[in-house]
Amino acid sequence: MTRPERNPPGDEASTAGKVVPYKVGYGKPPREHRFKKGQSGNPSGRPKGSANKPKIDTSSGMRAAEQFLKYEAYRPVTLREDGEIIELPAIQAVFRAMGVAAMKGNRFAQKNITELVTSLEQRDADQRYELFGTAAEYKKDWSMEIERCERDGLPIPNPVPHPDDIILDPNNGDVRIHGPQTDEQKRDLDEALKRRSEAQEEVNYYSDKYHRARSERRKAQWLEAWHSEQCIFDIINDSVPKRYKTKLANRSYREGASREGKAREELRKRRKLRSDDL
């Protein structure tokens, strides 16, 4: 039995001899302007699947091959592990499969993964000790130059990073820099140290005013200003590397005064209390 063809919404169809009206308006375009089945409403739009294709210039020769390799190596893939679906970069999934095979006794996988790990560790060690040698030479040369200038009464150089900021650990080849490593960081540090010096001067001034004041009202005013500058000093001093730290003279130990090494923590607590009260 053949089913009657259903008229699409909006077509003029006769039902019991009556014409069903179709009102053209928002969301109801005229019949000649409606999309046809199987035809895209945006024929000049993005091709299907184009979002998954890497944008690589193949005219660059071997460089293009390297880019394709990197794309495939880091392309996310899904796999099942311990009953769960996880997503990993393709290269990590390869290494994980190799590790699983090695632990199951596959000698080829055991040999490959051992050689890979050994090679990576050796390359890391070589790079670390090369950096250590470069840093040690830099530290020695600048230290000798600074000593020479001090001895001969010449202007003292201030290289970035400063040799005193370079910490070397010969046991593991570790190199650490506890200080500015760029000119911009050096400028920021100089500004911070300058403001810390100003805070020390203000602390000296306000502490003297406090001790000379006779009225309790004036004492309270001077003490508040004293504590404010002391807090600024402590925040800056707590933030700079160890070599740049110093002690505050005329420190207040009265209630509400900041403490050395705890100023930033205390400031965060005070701000949280104020925000909770709002």
pLDDT in tens, the chain (278 residues): 444 444 444 444 444 454 555 566 666 667 666 666 666 665 655 555 555 566 666 665 567 888 888 899 999 999 888 889 999 999 999 999 999 999 999 999 999 999 999 999 999 989 988 999 999 999 999 999 999 999 999 999 999 999 999 999 988 889 999 999 999 999 999 999 999 999 999 999 999 999 999 999 999 999 999 999 999 999 999 999 999 999 999 999 999 899 998 888 877 777 776 666 65
Cα dihedral sign for 217, 218, 223, 229? positive
Contacts of 86 (CB under 8 A, 6+ apart): 78, 79, 80
- Record the pTM: 0.60
